[in-house]
Structure 1
Amino acid sequence: MTDNTNTLLKCLADGSFTREQATAVAEQFQNVTIEDDQGTHFRLVVRRDGEMIWRGGILKRAAYWLNRYIEFYGIRKTK
């Protein structure tokens, strides 16, 4: 049995992020998803009770704020 709270959490760098990085983070949480995928750009979205509380995309500091919202509102997936 593993303790889910001690597993390594993949976070985004505070600058911009790639689709691969966003996917790695979204795969760890029940309420973090990639949305508005246009092929060339996308948004990483954090939801609480189905309601969007933060989204980030191609802005330079998007990952900084996403990390803070994920840290506070993110619901980790269990294995």
Structure 2
Amino acid sequence: MADQTDQHVLLPEGTFTHEEANAVTAAYSNITIENDRGGQFQLVIRNNGELVKRYWNFEPDAGYWLNRGITDYGVKKQ
């Protein structure tokens, strides 16, 4: 399950599941799931419409790098 800190909803440091990605996209308005092929998909972070980070869920360090983008660019939903 996605880790919910005081300020951010984060992913595990490595690979992540659709359920964990859904928890993140539910919390942030600028993070989406794209290229969804069921078990494989990309989580995408944008800043003012510009691509910041995009990783496939099965990449070994995807969660680590996406978490950096979440803390730097994540826009929490109201």
TM-score by length of 2: 0.85
Cα displacement (A) at 1:26:
0.9
**Secondary structure, in 3 states, of the residue corresponding to 1:44?**
strand
Q: Which 4+ runs in 1 deviate beyond 2 A?
A: 6-10
Partner in structure 2 of residue 74 of structure 1: 74
Number of equivalences = 73
Q: Which runs of 5+ in 1 are unaligned?
A: 1-5
Deviates more, 1:49-58 or 1:26-35: 49-58
Instruction: After superposition, give the CA deviation of every residue in 1:19-54 in whole Å (9 maximum; x if it has no partner).
Output: 000000111001000011112310000001111110
TM-score relative to the length of structure 1: 0.84
Give the % identical residues.
42
Measured at CA, do residues 38 and 11 of structure 1 come closer, stay the same or move farther in structure 2, by a change above 3 Å?
Answer: same
- Contiguous gaps of at least 5 residues in structure 2: none
Larger relative strand fraction: 2
In 1, the alpha carbon distance for the partners of 2:59 and 2:39 equals 14
